[in-house]
């Protein structure tokens, strides 16, 4: 089987699994327990956070909150910050490019009374910086933006967005860095909060992190025992938290080499596709190297995914979260891509486990699928 759906999820690294098992077996204690075993667990939790800080060379600029994944991290940050700022800055800025774990939260906040503004998107799928500048004011309490898009792979100009937002001290800048970790260097400078999910970089499902510069800017969305500075109540899942540190360390320390490997594989696929005149590359040329979105005008994306699946190649239409919805993908629409091309678009996503031989096999399988659908192509 050729697995090319790494933007949906990745295979866990063996040492992440080993760590998870080992901590479960020998350090299953509750870090909040007052006895020796609890204290030992608490020390391990502190060490895990210190290791993350060391990995990114922070001193104490950020607090680290372990969560169950980016959906939870995004919810804690977005709902928590918006509500904290409601009285004096009730505008929220985002874009239609965001993942549902941001878009749906913002939509719900809109229903709660916040004023939501959507920043324009350029045809390369990037935030229109001039438009963002024009939307900014002292009424803006929250700006939220993804680092790398999960459908097309475009990288957002986070440093430039920071420059614009920083001129407005009331505005909190949240970054959804889920698809960036291990693929492109993360930008923390000037960012107020950032979320990630372990299973996107060879960690486990159900483990995530939220980085927060000033935790007092967040009202907790869940009430309970007060763990994780009161922002994520519930018994600490030490095996999950320790093992995400393993995955994160590996991903961050190997970003450069993985980026190079993925770029090479991405270029190999693109070069191969150039031989097919009616196949269109939807992803911008400077996209993150693990995501390659392509269009087969005239064919339905679901038909293509099924055809590839029959040939043992696993890939997606848009994203795993929205690929079961019938509507045209908003990210591609926002980039001005014609409907016929959107309907026939598929996402090929590479990962640390993608091999050269996977790419070669993919080319053969692509040929076979192309032959099956060529009559439909427009």
- Shortest distance, position 104 Cβ to ligand PMP, whole Å: 11
Q: Does 99 bind ligand PMP (CB under 6 A)?
A: yes
CA distance 332 to 232: 35
How many Cα atoms are found within 13 Å in the side-chain-facing hemisphere of 182? 28
Q: Does 150 bind ligand PMP (CB under 6 A)?
A: yes
- Shortest distance, position 241 Cβ to ligand PMP, whole Å: 15
Which element (helix H / strand E) includes 292? strand 291-295
- Shortest distance, position 95 Cβ to ligand PMP, whole Å: 12
CA distance 105 to 90: 15
Q: Which stretch binds ligand PMP (CB under 6 A): 56-64, 67-75, 222-230, 284-292?
A: 67-75
CA distance 154 to 289: 9
Q: Does 352 bind ligand PMP (CB under 6 A)?
A: no
Beta-carbon contacts of 79 under 8 Å, excluding residues fewer than 6 positions away, are: 105, 109, 219, 221
Q: State which residue, 197 or 261, has the beta carbon closest to ligand PMP.
A: 197
Q: Does 117 bind ligand PMP (CB under 6 A)?
A: no
Q: Does 95 bind ligand PMP (CB under 6 A)?
A: no
Q: Which residues pair with 292 in a beta bridge?
A: 348
Q: Does 317 bind ligand PMP (CB under 6 A)?
A: no
**Of positions 146, 173, 186, 350, contacts ligand PMP by CB under 6 A:** 146
Q: State which residue, 89 or 210, has the beta carbon closest to ligand PMP.
A: 210
Q: Does 5 bind ligand PMP (CB under 6 A)?
A: no
Q: Which stretch binds ligand PMP (CB under 6 A): 64-72, 225-233, 239-247, 350-358?
A: 64-72
Is-catalytic flag, 321?
Answer: yes
Q: Is the dihedral of CA 291, 296, 297, 302 positive or negative?
A: negative
DSSP 27: -
Q: Which stretch binds ligand PMP (CB under 6 A): 51-59, 68-76, 230-238, 331-339?
A: 68-76
**Of positions 10, 90, 101, 261, contacts ligand PMP by CB under 6 A:** 101
Q: How many residues does the chain have?
A: 378
Q: Which of 321, 328, 340, 373 is catalytic?
A: 321
194's torsion region: left (phi>0), alpha (psi -120 to 50) or beta? beta
Q: Which stretch binds ligand PMP (CB under 6 A): 69-77, 86-94, 210-218, 261-269?
A: 69-77
Q: Is the dihedral of CA 314, 319, 322, 327 positive or negative?
A: negative
Residue 203 to residues 26, 291, 355, Cα–Cα distance (Å): 20, 19, 19
Asked if residues 5 and 315 have their Cβ atoms less than 8 Å apart, the reply is yes
Q: Does 196 bind ligand PMP (CB under 6 A)?
A: no
Place of tokens 């190297």: 289
Give me the active site residues, please.
Answer: 321
Site of interaction with ligand PMP (CB under 6 A): 69-71, 99, 101, 146, 150, 176, 178-179, 197, 199, 319, 321
């Amino acid at each position: 089987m050729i697995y090319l759906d790494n933007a949906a999820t990745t295979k866990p690294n063996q040492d992440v699994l080993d760590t998870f098992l080992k901590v479960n077996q020998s350090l299953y204690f509750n870090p909040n327990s007052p006895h020796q075993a609890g204290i030992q667990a608490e020390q391990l939790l502190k060490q895990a956070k210190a290791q993350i800080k060391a990995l990114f060379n922070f001193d104490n600029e950020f607090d680290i909150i372990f969560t169950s994944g980016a959906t939870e991290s995004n919810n804690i940050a977005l709902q928590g910050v918006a509500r904290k700022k409601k009285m004096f800055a009730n505008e929220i800025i985002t874009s239609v490019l965001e993942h549902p774990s941001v878009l749906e939260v913002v939509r719900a906040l809109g229903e709660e009374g916040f004023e939501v503004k959507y920043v324009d998107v350029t045809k390369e799928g990037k935030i229109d910086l001039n438009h963002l500048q024009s939307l900014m004011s002292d009424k803006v309490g929250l700006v939220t933006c993804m680092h790398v898009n999960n459908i097309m792979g475009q990288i957002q100009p986070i440093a430039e967005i920071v420059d614009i937002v920083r001129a407005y001290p009331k505005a909190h800048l949240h970054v959804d860095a889920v698809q960036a970790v291990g693929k492109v260097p993360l930008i923390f400078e000037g960012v107020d909060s950032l979320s990630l999910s372990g299973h996107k970089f060879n960690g486990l499902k159900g483990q995530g992190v939220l980085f927060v510069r000033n935790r007092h800017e967040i009202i907790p969305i869940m009430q309970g025992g007060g763990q994780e500075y009161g922002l994520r109540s519930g018994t600490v899942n030490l095996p999950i938290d320790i093992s995400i540190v393993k995955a994160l360390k590996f991903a961050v320390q190997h970003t450069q080499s993985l980026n190079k490997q993925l770029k090479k594989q991405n270029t190999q696929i693109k070069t191969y596709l150039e031989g097919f005149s009616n196949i269109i590359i939807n992803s911008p040329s400077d996209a993150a190297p693990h995501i390659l979105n392509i269009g087969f005008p005239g064919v339905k994306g679901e038909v293509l995914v099924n055809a590839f699946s029959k040939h043992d190649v696993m890939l997606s239409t848009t994203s795993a979260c929205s690929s079961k919805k019938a509507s045209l993908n908003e990210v591609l629409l926002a980039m001005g891509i014609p409907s016929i091309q959107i309907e026939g678009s598929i996402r090929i996503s590479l990962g640390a486990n993608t091999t050269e031989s996977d790419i070669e096999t993919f080319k053969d399988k692509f040929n076979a699928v192309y032959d099956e659908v060529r009559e439909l192509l427009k």
